[in-house]
Amino acid sequence: MAEGLSVESLSRGEPALIVQAEEPRILIVGLHGDETLAPRLAHHLYTEKPEYSRFVDYICGNPEAMAEGTRHVGYDLNRAFGLAERCDAEPPEIRARQKARAILGMIGTRRYDYVLDMHTSDTETEGFFLITRRNEFVDTIIGASVLRHVAVMAPHLIENTLMGAAAHAVSIEYARADEGRDVEESLGLVERLLIGETPDPQPREFFNVTREITKDEDPGDVPNFIWCPDGYYPVLLGKDGRDSYRNSPGDLLCFAADTMSREKL
């Protein structure tokens, strides 16, 4: 049984799977080894709300990376969903693709209502959703949450991510500095989804993310989700830190939303 598992053990990817739900409705997933929201949420759920364990499963997608406290080992798992097989692929890519297929297979077999892909970063922003589609299940998740911002990612930007591959999946991003509040709010979301609580519709802001911003286009010290002088709403623009795209390989700095719309949900 999962009761009593420590945050420390779960944060090392031990065990990598907690698949004990008798009536599986929600899957909590952690894909990056240096992001601890998923294991912390699983720990609090199974220890503080054990009555919900019959409905909720947990996956540590990359236990090797979790044990090392690094984003990934060789290849980013959250870039391996939907990834086509290549005869010249290196072993880390092959292993990531195999893990991604196993997670998608479990989602298909267990037939969850909702898949919560949990992330943390050094980005200075309040918690927000990343989605690529609107449907009954995605809107239900958003409507049961306290989060106001929703980044609607163009399909070509997230085609190999979990939320791009699974119709019932959303990604939830919190700042690392929000540790504590992130679990509290996420526990509330899970509880409302399970009991079918429908809060009064709240204002949400949907940001239509269409393109990437490269490092040579750095807008400087501007806030996320606020129209910047360069003519877009920045999304996932981070300060200098271990998760900032400024310090990552490649040219990606952040994402740009060209338009924003408001809706009560």
State the average pLDDT over residues 87-91.
91
Pick the last residue of a domain from 167, 188, 204.
204
Return the pLDDT at 185: 97
Tokens of 133: 């589609």
pLDDT band at 241 (very low <50, low <70, confident <90, very high): low
Average pLDDT of the segment spanning 223-247: 85
| Res. 1: pLDDT tops 70 | no
Which DSSP symbol is given to 39?
H
* Pair 139, 253 in one domain: no
Whether pLDDT at 2 is above 80? no
The alpha-carbon radius of gyration of the chain (Å, integer) is 18
The number of distinct structural domains making up the chain is 2
Other CB atoms within 10 A of residue 148 CB: 16
| Residue predicted with more confidence, 148 or 84 | 148
* Together in a domain, 50 and 138: yes
Q: Which helix (H) or strand (E) covers residue 118, if one does?
A: strand 114-121
pLDDT range class, residue 247, cuts 50, 70, 90:
confident
**Least confident span in 57-61, 133-137, 235-239:** 235-239
Range of the domain at 102: 7-204
Helical H runs in the chain?
A: 7-11, 37-48, 63-68, 91-110, 136-143, 155-158, 162-165, 181-195
For residue 70, the model assigns a pLDDT of 92
Does residue 199 register a pLDDT over 90? no
Q: Where residue 240 falls among pLDDT bands split at 50, 70, 90?
A: low
Same domain for 51 and 149: yes
Q: β-strands 149-153, 128-131: how paired?
A: parallel
The residue among 181, 204, 227 that closes a domain is: 204
Q: Give the residue-averaged pLDDT of 93-106.
A: 96
Which domain CATH number covers 18? 3.40.630.10
Indicate the average pLDDT of the chain.
Answer: 93
Sole residue written with tokens 């719309």: 261
Quick: pLDDT tens for 32-46.
999 999 999 999 999
- The whole model's pTM is what? 0.95
Of residues 36 and 87, the one with the higher pLDDT is: 36
Q: Quick one: 121 and 239 in the same domain?
A: no
Mean pLDDT of 206-230: 95
